[in-house]
Amino acid sequence: MNKTNIHIILPNTKRYKLFVLMFVLWISTTHYGYSQQMTEPHESAKTKLQLELEIQQKILMEQGKEIENLKRLIKNQYAKIDQQTTNTDPNKNAPSKKNKVTSKKNSNVSSVINKPVGKAPPKTATRIDVSAIPKLSTNISGVLTKTGTLIIEPGIGYAYTDTNRVFLDAYSFLPAVVVGVIDLREIKRHTVIGTIGTRYGLTDRWEVDLKLSYIGRNDSQRSRPISVGVSEDAIFTASGSDMGDVEVSTRYQLNSGVGGGAIYVFNLVATIPTGTSPFDVEYVESTPGAVFPTELPTGSGYYSVQPSLTAIYATDPGVLFGNISYGNNLDSDEDVGKVDPGDSLGFSFGLGLSLNERTSMSLSYSHKHVLKSKIDDVKINGSELDIGQLIIGYSFNNSKRTNLNLSLNIGVTDDAPAIRLNFRIPIIF
């Protein structure tokens, strides 16, 4: 079998048309492929955007659920508050008032949430820090010590007295006629007192106190007996130093001060005559009618018991305080006879003011009236005394264990020392 080759021969015009057709087909095919390549990345970006939107939608749905939960909690809180208001309100049978309160709470969410919920804590006993209060007298401090706390309080004091006195050792049988000695005397007295005190708290409302003292005195006296014709002044100087009287005291807080009222403290002080007694001092006569002691006493010479009551009231930023006392001075048998020193009545009041957390000041007044002394039940004229003092106190909290207390006493009556300065350092153990 013979192979036959068939050749189709086209005219030039038809060849040209065929070539154009093939070129058009190639161009259209190439454009379609390119458009497919450009469309594929655009569709992938669109898919990513849809995924991101779906994620955000899920997040919003979760947040919406959380908001619904918060609303539910707030409604439950409203229900609890309404129930507590209904239980505590004495007018709970008035429904219109209750609905009015509920509508106000629903309109202001933040104000309701910020209000306290539940019952207030029980009131506790008030404990007032009165470290700024000076000693209400020579033995009343007005400060209570905590349970099991020991306080050692060293101190030093100085007192100065300048008086002019007229001493009568005479008999008057007419109002203008006096037979005997009339002595004009000027006395300048310097006294230094060193003390050491201890306080111990048996409970938060009961404490005991013991104080020892050492006293040094120096007197300068100028005297002129005008009724015996003496032309010159007699000047005499005497001094004395020895242990002073021992003081034992206790204090008890009567109430707790709940509700912001005043706190009352009962004080009891006993004095034991361990110092040099005035009845044991010898006297000399330098000139006729001028009698001077050879040694100065450092004690009272008799036992005494003094109960008192202190009231303390806190008013921010200060503390008001006051004290009333009665001193019973016991009789003593001496060479001159049975001596009754005379009882005393006293009072004091003042204000302690806190300047800052560590510093405070106080201002107070103290007055004591001493009744007339007696010898063998016979009253001694001129033995009645009035001792009034203006007291300025200052306290500084030096550390957690120590305070620095300074007080200045200014005498406002003739029988009181002209000035007295006390410095104390309470140390807590």
Instruction: Concatenate the DSSP letters of all residues of 172-240 into one string.
Output: EEETTEEEEEEEEEEEEEEEEEEEEEEEEEEETTEEEEEEEEEEEEEEEEEEEETTTT--S-EEEEEEE
339: which residues sit within 8 A by CB, 6+ positions away?
A: 279, 302, 331, 332, 333, 373, 374, 375
Question: Does 329 share its domain with 403?
Answer: yes
The three-class DSSP label of residue 91 is: coil
Q: H-helix or E-strand containing 337?
A: strand 337-340
pLDDT band for 230, please (50, 70, 90 cuts): low
Q: What integer pLDDT is reported at residue 419 of this predicted model?
A: 94
Question: Does 180 share its domain with 61?
Answer: no
Q: What integer pLDDT is reported at residue 311 of this predicted model?
A: 93
Question: Does 49 share its domain with 171?
Answer: no
The least confident of 126-140, 220-234, 268-282, 357-371 is 126-140
Q: What integer pLDDT is reported at residue 100 of this predicted model?
A: 47
Q: What integer pLDDT is reported at residue 235 of this predicted model?
A: 75
Question: Is residue 239 in some structural domain?
Answer: yes
Q: Would strands 359-370 and 318-329 be described as parallel, antiparallel, or unpaired?
A: unpaired
Residue-wise pLDDT for 199-222, tens only, equals 999 998 999 999 999 999 998 887
Residue-wise pLDDT for 266-298, tens only, equals 999 999 999 999 888 888 876 665 677 888 899
Question: Is residue 144 in some structural domain?
Answer: no
Instruction: For 295-314, give one letter per residue: b (16+ CB within 10 A) or e.
Output: bbbbbbbbbbebebebbbbb
Asked whether residue 328 carries a pLDDT value surpassing 70, the answer given is yes
Q: Which amino acid appears at position 343 of this protein?
A: D
Question: Does 228 share its domain with 353?
Answer: yes
Question: Does 68 share its domain with 191?
Answer: no
Residue-wise pLDDT for 82-124, tens only, equals 777 666 554 444 444 444 444 444 545 444 445 555 555 555 4
Q: What integer pLDDT is reported at residue 48 of this predicted model?
A: 77
The least confident of 148-162, 176-190, 365-379, 393-407 is 176-190
Question: Is residue 303 in some structural domain?
Answer: yes
Please count the other Cβ atoms lying within 10 Å of the Cβ belonging to residue 247: 21
Question: Does 79 share its domain with 154?
Answer: no
Question: Is residue 325 in some structural domain?
Answer: yes
Residue-wise pLDDT for 49-78, tens only, equals 888 888 888 888 888 888 888 888 888 877
Phi, psi at 317, each rounded to 5° = -100, 25
Question: Does 351 share its domain with 202?
Answer: yes
Question: Is residue 327 in some structural domain?
Answer: yes
**How many distinct structural domains can be found in the chain?**
2
Question: Is residue 65 in some structural domain?
Answer: yes
Q: What integer pLDDT is reported at residue 27 of this predicted model?
A: 66
More confident site: 139 or 297: 297
Q: Would strands 374-375 and 378-379 be described as parallel, antiparallel, or unpaired?
A: antiparallel
The least confident of 245-249, 376-380, 392-396 is 376-380
Question: Does 257 share its domain with 347?
Answer: yes
Helical segments of 279-341, H only: none
Question: Does 173 share its domain with 280?
Answer: yes
Token pair for 317: 């930023």
Question: Is residue 418 in some structural domain?
Answer: yes
DSSP per position, 14-48? HHHHHHHHHHHHHHHHHHHHHHHHHHHHHHHHHHH
Residue-wise pLDDT for 240-252, tens only, equals 999 999 999 999 9
- What's the Cα-to-Cα distance from 125 to each of 19, 131, 262, 275, 382, rounded to whole Å? 116, 18, 12, 42, 49
Closest CA to 194 of 220, 219, 213, 166: 213
Place of tokens 């019973």: 328
Question: Does 270 share its domain with 415?
Answer: yes
237: which residues sit within 8 A by CB, 6+ positions away?
A: 218, 219, 220, 221
Question: Is residue 33 in some structural domain?
Answer: no
Question: Does 191 share its domain with 268?
Answer: yes
What's the chain's average pLDDT?
77
CATH no. for residue 274?
2.40.160.40
Question: Does 160 share its domain with 78?
Answer: no
pTM for the model: 0.64
d(CA 63, CA 69): 10
Instruction: Give me the domain span that covers residue 286.
Output: 150-424
